[in-house]
Amino acid sequence: MKWMRCRQGERELFGLLEGDRLAVHEGDLFGAARPTGERVDLAGAQWLMPCRPTKMLALWNNFRAAAEKNGWAIPAEPLYFVKTPNSFASHGQAIAAPAAEVGRVAYEGELAIVIGRRAKNLSPEQAAAHIFGYSCANDLTAMELLQRDPSFPQWTRAKGFDGFGVFGPVIETDFDPAKASLRTLVGGRERQNYPLADMIFAPHELVSRISHDMTLEHGDVILCGTSLGVLPMKPGTTVEVEIDGIGRLVNTYG
């Protein structure tokens, strides 16, 4: 099932995507969501983030192909950082470029895990019951800013500009990452195409390990990291992140 949120006029709606229409639901997306029977045409509707996370965590160095090409050691545990709430953005939203002195900004097409219920100290086997579903994501990064000061890598700042944590357009609840691939198109040209099965820490392992560090709440999002093909973008560029079985996340940068 593909869950989504949108705004149509003065109404903020959620429900299931059915072709080009929304089957409107009421209640709680992560609890007792009930169909109202209403169908809404999505033409002209504004897509919203498919849920409202309390936090977004993002992985670095979580794909074997990228680690091998870049000469990075395989990490013993997940390496992750926090994306701040102001960075969260939705499908179709224009992403403003930061000031020129920030330097080049890169796209990173990624798989997003959406937590469905509170998770704390889980085993990998328990983690499955706490994953609500999966989405597409673009983890934008100010590449030059990240390592500008050799005494302090600026992960929060480089990853935290407004709009730098895009995810959507939907949350797919019936999805197997081990059988899917991700493609990123930049200005219509394919720049990334990699199997999600190449992850060092697969989704259940990520949820388990992170849940031992901090409590994960329903709606929280974990970005699984990216692989080869990351490059800087020019202002005015349209970026599309597509995952088999989930959909296509589209945004224009700058």
- Residues 133 and 160 occupy one common structural domain: yes
5 beta partners = 14, 48
- Residues 35 and 85 occupy one common structural domain: no
Per-residue DSSP letters for 167-225? EEEEEESS--GGG-EEEEEETTEEEEEEEGGGBSS-HHHHHHHHHTTS-B-TT-EEE--
pLDDT at 189: 97
- Residues 98 and 216 occupy one common structural domain: yes
pLDDT at 56: 98
Q: How many domains does the chain have?
A: 2
Range of the domain at 205: 49-253
Instruction: Kindly report, residue by residue over 169-228, the tens digit of the pLDDT.
Output: 999 999 999 999 999 999 999 999 999 999 999 999 999 999 999 999 999 999 999 999
- Residues 26 and 113 occupy one common structural domain: no
CATH number for the domain including 3? 2.30.30
- Residues 30 and 62 occupy one common structural domain: no
Share the mean pLDDT of the chain: 97
Domain end residue (candidates: 12, 30, 46) = 46
- Asked if 194 and 156 count as a contact pair (C-beta separation under 8 A), the reply is no
pLDDT at 44: 87
CA-based nearest residue to 159, from 171, 143, 172: 143
- Residues 9 and 135 occupy one common structural domain: no
- Residues 57 and 164 occupy one common structural domain: yes
Per-residue DSSP letters for 19-86? TTEEEEEES-TTS--EEEEEEEE-TTPEEE-SS--S-EEEEES-BHHHHHHHTPPPPSS-EEEEE-GG
pLDDT at 45: 95
CATH number for the domain including 107? 3.90.850.10
Low-confidence ranges of the chain (pLDDT < 50): none
113 beta partners = 134, 222
- Residues 129 and 77 occupy one common structural domain: yes
- Residues 39 and 83 occupy one common structural domain: no
- Residues 21 and 134 occupy one common structural domain: no
- Residues 108 and 32 occupy one common structural domain: no
- Residues 63 and 39 occupy one common structural domain: no
Amino acid (one-letter) located at 11? R
CA-based nearest residue to 246, from 166, 177, 190, 186: 177
Distance CA 25, CA 34 (A): 5
Q: For the whole model, what pTM was predicted?
A: 0.97
